[in-house]
Chain A
Amino acid sequence: MSTIHPDQITAERLAGLTRGVQGGMAPAPGTGDGTLIDTPGVRPPLVLNSRSFKEVTDIICGYAENSPPRWWLPLFGLVSTVAGLGGALIGYLVITGIGAWGMNNQVDWAWDITNFVFWIGIGHAGTLISAILCLLKQKWRTAVNRSAEAMTIFAVICAATFPGIHIGRQWMAWMLFPIPNANAIWPNFRSPLLWDVFAVSTYGTVSALFWFMGMIPDFASLRDRADRRLRANPEGGARLLPFLPVRIDRLRALVYGFLAMGWRNSGRHWHRYEAAYLILAGISTPLVLSVHSIVSFDFATSILPGWHTTIFPPYFVAGAIFGGFAMVLFLLIPARELYPNMKDFITLRHVENMAKIILVTGMMVGFAYSMEFFIAWYGANEYELYCFQNRAFGPYWWAYWTMIGCNVLSPQLFWFKAMRQKPLVVFIVSCAVTVGMWFERFVIIVSSLHRTFLPGEWNMFHPTFVDVGIFVGSCGVFVTLFLLFMRFLPMFAMAELKAVLPQASPHWHGYGHGDHSDHGHGANGHNGHDSHAPARHSSRGAH
């Protein structure tokens, strides 16, 4: 009696279902792919084409299981070479000393710290999407949170490199941490630079934990699929390399199985998992706000004109979210074009929502820029007023106006709905914002340092090829890691995506009640064409 089929007919019918003709499923005119519905009361679909649970698994696991798209390997080769060259230049820098950079005694923070703040800022969008949008119950986040979190971690890796190599004697970097040393002295806990060490390392760790915890159920899916293929075909199956007798699925079952830690989708486990997820979202929210606030303290607690302002923490946090969302769009808009079926998950509505966030945070950043000028004038401090005049009209005027053009002017396009809804326009604006946010940090750091109180301290900064090379190398590291992520890890939070499908609710009208399945009419019948529940149900079987 090992197998009993109580209702053989039902089982066979369920197994043999095919997708019905998708009549009436074409998006209504004026709604783009069908998600740009503006009617209040109608929730736009989060996933297009009425994907079944199985299709979601197949598509998303397919990104990690099938051979990558043709462009993947050449691009990977290119960016990993760039990353390697950047690494070689870091080696050159360590051997030569940080004089290899264009910094000097006057401008003693330049591209290194610019890059640090640039990357750490980009990291903030991931936690914003996974934590703050989770607390705000923004369900659309499920399609973008995994890749945004991945991006966060890779950005933090790039960011953490720069203070590490900026300290001069890089082999002493361990002295940043409170480790007992031969001189029996401890780090200076009253310095914002040390706060920064703790903030960034905590941020990187917590983001990685959050990312990993989110992936546990998806690792279990990948493990189970590999396991099923191994059981179906115990001997054959693709090999890792033609001459290596290691089968890919054996390796997958092992690695994904190890990472899944024995997750078995138990209801009791899910209950605690969801509690843990909510808690992590709750504690990451103040964390993400604290990290860039503390980064801004690096500047704000000094007495330098242009740095010593109280607006810095909120201004930096808004800028970080602004730049981070631009980077999410910069990565995901090409990805949704290049990967099959990805447009079903990252819809035009997602692009539009993120464009709105760019507009809002861009306005906040613009407000901060103007408020800095206002306070410089209103505060009647001649050094500060000079500093800001010098920013806009001094030797670095081009950097300042690049920043204004990219960060303040370009997002204004998003006041127009038609612009927010065109992925190409959104992509171009997010490129501009990414450039602009790099220039923002450059402007803050270099334009303040190159004209300090005494004219004797005045100097210019000119980057060397080591400056440029290490920055480009960090971009290479970032894209390399992101390509590896897209190739080997679940790119979407599958379990979460399934949970936001309409049929995931046990109370979905399509399931009816018991054996009387025609309750689809009435209150829930706004879907019109599919209000008859059994027909809807049978249209969502296997493909």
Chain B
Amino acid sequence: MATPMYVTESGEAIHGIMAEFANPADLYHAAEKVRDAGYSKWDTYSPFPVHDMEEAMGFGRTILPLLVAIGGFTGASLGFLMQWWMSGIDYQLLVQGKPFGSFSDGGWQAFIPITFECGILFAAFTSLIGMLALNGLPRWHHPLMKKERFLSSSDDKFFVCIEASDRNFHPERTRALLEGARATSIELVEE
């Protein structure tokens, strides 16, 4: 049994333990402690991105830039192909004697602005949608949102939540770790 299940007195499954911190410095140091204790299913919550937090939490680079590059090049390619096919292949419209758009006659040059714009458009959509998808959003419910105290995470409070499904999760030890990290309050989060 890899993940021990914990339930409350009333039999509800436990999502995890949530600890509140008063300021970004306490959150930062708590994150370092949780990282060093070897947890993997946990997260910090702060009203703004805390500087260097990726270091304190110990996670690597995101693949988002790669996705955006793929999206951007796809958009640019599709934009170019669209113009090349529409004005060079499907219906050759003769306007002002301009070349139709093959590579040999130099007509491709006129397609560059729209190719660029299509690349930008696809890259922008990829970065927003990709960011949301990698974050598992949109997701309009989450066990943490049931906690009234957690609602100040978008105001002025800082939280760490260690999930019960983590391999290292242990009700007493996890609580002690968070307590030792200057948490101002600790709550159980039901699933």
Contact = CB atoms under 8 A, between A and B. Distances in A.
A184 B91 contact: yes
B43 A506 contact: no
A52 B57 contact: no
A1 B116 CA distance: 59
Dominant SS among interface residues on chain A: helix
Contacts of A184: 90-91
A195 B114 contact: yes
A279 B22 contact: no
Nearest to A258: B140
Contacts of A206: 120-121, 124
A271 B151 CA distance: 20
A160 B6 CA distance: 58
A6 B22 contact: no
Given A178-B82, A190-B87, A274-B49, A199 B134 contact: no
B93 A188 contact: yes
B23 interface: yes
B117 interface: yes
B28 interface: yes
B45 A213 contact: no
A231 B148 CA distance: 8
A189 B87 contact: yes
B156 interface: yes
Contact of A221 (B44, B47, B116, B134): B47
Contacts of B56: 506
Interface in B162-191: 175, 179, 182-188
Dominant SS among interface residues on chain B: helix
Interface in A197-256: 198-199, 202, 205-206, 209-210, 212-213, 217, 220-221, 223-225, 227-228, 231
Contact of B186 (A3, A263, A287, A503): A3
A206 B125 CA distance: 8
Nearest to A219: B154
Contact of A495 (B47, B59, B128, B182): B47
A410 to B, nearest CB: 34
Interface size range on B against A: 35 or more
Given A178-B86, A228-B148, A267-B31, A511 B183 contact: no
Given A198-B113, A504-B50, A267 B44 contact: yes
A414 to B, nearest CB: 33
Contact of A505 (B31, B51, B137, B187): B51
B114 A194 contact: yes
B16 interface: no
Given A276-B131, A287-B120, A290-B117, A53 B155 contact: yes
A189 B48 contact: no
Contact of B154 (A11, A187, A210, A265): A265
A277 to B, nearest CB: 9
A225 B124 contact: no
Interface in A26-82: 52-54, 57
A10 B184 CA distance: 7
Nearest to A196: B113
Contacts of A199: 113, 117
Contacts of B87: 186, 188-190
Contacts of B117: 195, 198-199, 202, 287, 290
Contacts of B110: 189-190
A186 B121 contact: no
Interface string B111-130: 10110111011011101101
Given A273-B131, A495-B48, A57 B155 contact: yes
A1 B188 contact: yes
Interface in A334-376: none
Interface of A: 1-7, 10-11, 14, 52-54, 57, 178, 184-192, 194-195, 198-199, 202, 205-206, 209-210, 212-213, 217, 220-221, 223-225, 227-228, 231, 257-258, 261-276, 279-280, 283-284, 286-287, 290, 294, 297, 494-496, 498-499, 503-508, 511, 514
Given A198-B113, A286-B116, 15 more contacts: A2-B8, A57-B156, A189-B110, A192-B113, A198-B114, A202-B118, A205-B121, A225-B154, A228-B152, A261-B139, A276-B128, A276-B130, A294-B113, A495-B48, A503-B23
Instruction: Sort A-B residue pairs by CB-CB distance and give the 5 closest, nearest first.
Output: A506-B28, A261-B138, A267-B44, A511-B25, A53-B156
Interface of B: 8, 22-29, 31, 43-54, 56-57, 59, 62, 64-65, 68, 72, 82-83, 86-87, 90-91, 93, 95, 98, 101, 107, 110-111, 113-114, 116-118, 120-121, 123-125, 127-128, 130-132, 134-135, 137-142, 144-145, 148, 151-156, 175, 179, 182-188
